[in-house]
Each structure stands twice: as structure tokens, then as C-alpha cells.
Structure 1
Amino acid sequence: MTTINPEEILVKLLGELQEIADDGSHSFDTLQQSARACSMTLDNLRGYLTTHAFPAPDLEIFFFKHIKPSVEGRLLFFLKLFDLLGQLPLYNEDEGKAFWQQKIQEVERYIFQFGEIWHYFNAHADHLDLHYFTRPTATPISGVSSLRQLTDPGFETPQSHNFACITASRMLIDYCSRQLGRSDPALPFTFTWTGSAQALTEVIYGFNEMQVLDGKRHEIAKVKAFFERVFNFPMSNIYKNWEHIRLRKKAELRFSTKPSWHSANARIMMTSMHSAKLLR
């Protein structure tokens, strides 16, 4: 029997959400569908933890820092947006702008209340991950997060829920900002990556090798963080993903008599593999 890992569960959810509201706009009906999909995905993640153990701390950290907050944060976002649309008044253009600006200010005040955790999130820091995103053996009662750990100890860490709240808040700010600029034809689109982590790994290494980001190569971790934010897609060990891709490509070339040089992806991959070999 094939086991679906947490990353695949998240990718499946993102694909479902894309189908429910392809253009990013929402009605009460699509919000209910989206919230239901997120809730079911959280149940799937909880079920995964009941039958699987993390073989290493970094995998547990990745789950509670990225996977679970991505799902729970979206659920919170859809529920909050459902409530927000219920408050939406009948207004003219000026009143509409004032409404969305007020909501942005309210969310910003809320998000800044997280203080150090907000800065930790925004800076993509990792020096306290072992404390923030692994489940403690004993939980002192000191606030809402501790109560959540007591009621569902296998599905909470000290900061996983706070990261979900911050994720939801940022999504809500983005949504409100789009409402303010909806009539602007230059408004950029937002997309969510629904492909595999290995496919995005190839894209990241390919872009970096072609030196099309500020005209130079960068540290892969920096490019990875950029693409994660652009595509709302957290990634775990990109270096391990790349090593698997590199070995697979070498095996394909070894057994192929006529490699296709007409594929742009193949050219990017060959160039990236050559660069990786030089840097090893």
C-alpha cells in the first residue's frame, strides 16, 4: 500500500483549493467548500501522526513549522473571510476603499501583537526551531498555546498555532489589498504551486543557474525562500531533492542513446548539473 506523506497531502489540498476558486475571488459557497477541504486535510494530517513517527527532529520541525500551519492557516483565513464578507456594506467606491483599508489596519495591529514570533516568522529564522516546533514531553500551563497542547498533545507544538495565525493574517492582508486595487489592470496575479516539490526544485536550480535573478547566482537557500513566498509552497530539504534529481538525470542519460536537446528543461537541467558538479 502506498503511503501519502504530509507534503503530498498539502499539495493535494492546494490543488483542490485552486479548483474551488481559480481566480482567487470567493463567495460564501466557495469559502464553505474551501474551509471544509482544509478541515478534512487537518484530519488527514492528524491521522498520519497516529500511524507514523518522525525518524529525525528536522522532519518533525518541517511538519509543525510549514505543513500544519499552511493548512491550519488557510482554514483560519477562509473562516475569517467568511465573517468579513458578512460585514461587507453596500458602499460607493470611496466607502469601499475605507472599508478594506480599515480591515488591513486591524489585521496589521493583530499580527504585530505576536512580537518576537512575528519577527521570527518574517525573518525565516530557524535557531529556535527545536524548541518551537517539536512536541514537548511535559507542557506547563502558561497560555492558549499550552491549553491547545494539553487538549491535543500529539498535534501541537509551542508555536505551530501561532504560525498558522500569522499565515492566515498575511493571506487576509493580501486579499484586502487586492480588493483595493481590483480595478487596476497592472495588479499582479497570485499563484499557488500545485506541482511536486521536486519539480519546483528543478525550477529553482534552473533559474539560479541561468543567472536571471539580479543577473547573478545566489545561495540556493535564499532563492528557495523567495519561491516559497511567491508560490505559497513550503519545501523541506531542497538539497536532498536536488541530489535525487541529479542522480535520476544521470541514470537517464546513461541509458538513453538519443537525449532530447530540444527541451528547454533538459538544457536547464544539464547546465545546473554541470554547475553543481563544479561546486561539489
Structure 2
Amino acid sequence: MKYSKQIIASLERNIQNLPCNPENPFEKIELGISYCQKSLKKLRHRILAHGFPSPEVECQFFKHIKPKALGYLIYFLYLSDFEMSKPKTTSKKLKSFTQQYITDYQNYFLEHKEFYLYLMRNRIDRDCEYFLRSQGVVKFHSDALPYCMDNEFSTSHDFIAAKIFAHNLLIEHLNKELILSHNSLSTENRTPYNIPWTGTKTDLIELMYALHETGAINNGNTEIKELADFFQLVFKIDLGEYYRTYIEIRTRKINPTKFLDRMKNNLLTRITEADN
């Protein structure tokens, strides 16, 4: 396991030191793909030659080690697709194109919601089912293909874990691209007010999605990303990966709209007291 971790550490150092040339992003992408391929080859050779000392170590490898190397490879491959496909026209079209890619990557989390939340909550109770080669169950999904083709170096869910890792990297990268390319509000247009948000981030995200769904802002023609940028600017708050928080809001078993319900109840109380 120590050797495998060293391979990942070396891979991440190489990725961090990749050349950054906005005029030719494919130079970075090609080198990144090459590093990932070499790392996966080393990991595969090591595992097939030496195996694992215990099922627990095997689970750790296919849950945390291989998905990183494979996830970086998926990241660079998908990034090359984005770079080749993005429009070379107006910034408005590029912005819309980029936001659609971000939405598509986020939808993968919803497609595998149960497993995604399993990983995000650091659960281990089903590791043997997901990350032991001998206990994998083939599901009718294209992401089962690697396990069907190579069950010596794959489990039923390590590829999905790798794609989740890759999609998070892609979303982070594309969000940075949006900020760098647009710098949506210049310094002189920034709000002069200092009214911080004192509720929780989750509360603000719940409100943001509610406003978006009601079409109360710009007749519903404003994207979630734009609303998030606006709220973060006005309230001087970093909402972080708000799409993840929205997924957690959706999975609440009791009272999924608890902040909105609290707002309604408090307003009704004020109206009642004012009438007395």
C-alpha cells in the first residue's frame, strides 16, 4: 500500500508541475494523460504481482488509490473534449456552453446519488460490496464495463468513484474558467453595502434554488451559477460547492425545505402579532 501511495503522490506532483499555456491547453492535457497511464500501469503491475494482505487493504486501494489515478486520466480526457468542442465565438455563448458542461457533470452525481452520498459521508459499511473484486455485482449500466472487461484490476464501483473524482475536478476547473474569462463584475460595480449573511450556507442555498425555481428573478432566465455569484458578492460569502449541498437538501428525509418553512412561519407570526 505504501508503494501505491507513493505512485499517487508522484503523479500529483507531476500534475501540479504541468505547463500552463492558455494558448495551447493540449500540451498540458497530453502530458497529464501520459503521467496517468504510466501510474495506472505501475499500479496494475504491482497489484497483480503481489496482491493484497487483507480485504481491508484491497478496499482501501480500490476506494482511494486507483480512483485517483484513473480519475485524473478521465479528467484530462474529458478536458480535451471540452477544449475541442467549445465555441470560438462570443463570450456569452462560451459561458452558456461551459455552464452546460458543468450541469452535465453535476447530473452524474444525481445519477449515482446513493453511491455519491456514501463516498461524501465517508461511510465504510458497504466497502466490501463496492470495492472487493470478488464481491462485485454487475449492474446494467455502462460504467460496469471496466469491471466486466478486467475484474482482476477493477471492482464494481471503482470506475464510478473515479468519475466522481474526475467530475469534481472538472467542475472546479470550469468554474475557475468562468471567473477568469468573465470577471463578471468590475471593481466599480461592486456593491457598496456591507450586509453579511448570518444564516447558514445551506439556508442561503435553499433560498437560492427556491428563487430560481419560482422564476422570481429575471423571469427565471438566470442560471444557478449566476445566482450563486450574485449572492456570494452581495452577502460576501463563499458558498463553496453549492451543487453538493443542494443534493444533500434533496435527500433530507424530514422537512427538505426547513429554512423556507421557518421563514414562512416567522412572517406569519409577525403578521398575526401586528394585527393584535
Shorter-chain TM-score range: 0.5 to 0.7
For normalisation by structure 2, the TM-score amounts to 0.60
Residue 107, structure 1, aligned to residue 121, structure 2: no
Counterpart residue number, 1:54: 52
Query: Quick one: distance in 2 between partners of 1:105 and 1:29?
Result: 26
Check conservation: 1:139, 1:149, Cα contact below 8 A. no
Counterpart residue number, 1:133: 131
Tell me which moved more, 136-145 or 50-59: 136-145
- Match runs of 1:73-84 below 5 Å: 73-84=71-82
Label 1:43 to 1:24 Cα distance change in 2 as closer, same or farther (>3 A): farther
TM-fit CA distance, 1:137: 6.0
Q: Which runs of 5+ in 2 are unaligned?
A: 185-240, 242-276
Q: For 1:193-217, what per-residue CA distance to the aligned partner results, in whole angstroms no more than 9, with x for missing partners?
A: xxxxxxxxxxxxxxxxxxxxxxxxx
Which of residues 55, 66, 69 in structure 1 aligns to 2:67? 69
Q: Which amino acid aligns with 2:91?
A: E
Check conservation: 2:68, 2:162, Cα contact below 8 A. yes
Q: Which amino acid aligns with 1:67?
A: I
Q: Which amino acid aligns with 2:160?
A: N
Query: Quick one: distance in 1 between partners of 2:33 and 2:10?
Result: 14
Q: Which runs of 5+ in 1 are unaligned?
A: 186-228, 230-280
TM-fit CA distance, 1:143: 4.4
TM-fit CA distance, 1:53: 2.2
Q: Which amino acid aligns with 1:167?
A: F
TM-fit CA distance, 1:122: 2.0
Check conservation: 1:69, 1:163, Cα contact below 8 A. yes
Query: Quick one: distance in 2 between partners of 1:69 and 1:7?
Result: 12
Label 1:148 to 1:6 Cα distance change in 2 as closer, same or farther (>3 A): same
Query: Quick one: distance in 2 between partners of 1:106 and 1:139?
Result: 26
- Please tell me the root mean square deviation across aligned C-alpha atoms, in Å: 2.8
Check conservation: 1:73, 1:167, Cα contact below 8 A. yes
Q: Which amino acid aligns with 1:117?
A: F
Report the secondary structure of 1:20's partner residue: coil
> May I ask how many residue pairs the two structures share in their alignment?
185
Counterpart residue number, 1:116: 114
TM-fit CA distance, 1:142: 4.7
- Match runs of 1:253-268 below 5 Å: none
Label 1:19 to 1:149 Cα distance change in 2 as closer, same or farther (>3 A): same
Check conservation: 1:141, 1:147, Cα contact below 8 A. no
Work out the percentage of aligned pairs sharing the same amino acid: 27
Counterpart residue number, 1:175: 173
Which of residues 21, 30, 33 in structure 2 aligns to 1:32? 30
Q: For 1:153-195, what per-residue CA distance to the aligned partner results, in whole angstroms no more than 9, with x for missing partners?
A: 210111101101111111111111111111559xxxxxxxxxx
Q: Which amino acid aligns with 1:13?
A: L
Check conservation: 1:139, 1:146, Cα contact below 8 A. no
Query: Quick one: distance in 2 between partners of 1:89 and 1:175?
Result: 17
Counterpart residue number, 2:39: 41
Which of residues 3, 14, 17 in structure 1 aligns to 2:15? 17
Label 1:95 to 1:49 Cα distance change in 2 as closer, same or farther (>3 A): same
TM-fit CA distance, 1:21: 3.7
Q: Which amino acid aligns with 1:41?
A: S
Label 1:171 to 1:157 Cα distance change in 2 as closer, same or farther (>3 A): same
Query: Quick one: distance in 1 between partners of 2:58 and 2:173?
Result: 31
Check conservation: 2:20, 2:28, Cα contact below 8 A. no
Which of residues 4, 24, 40 in structure 2 aligns to 1:6? 4
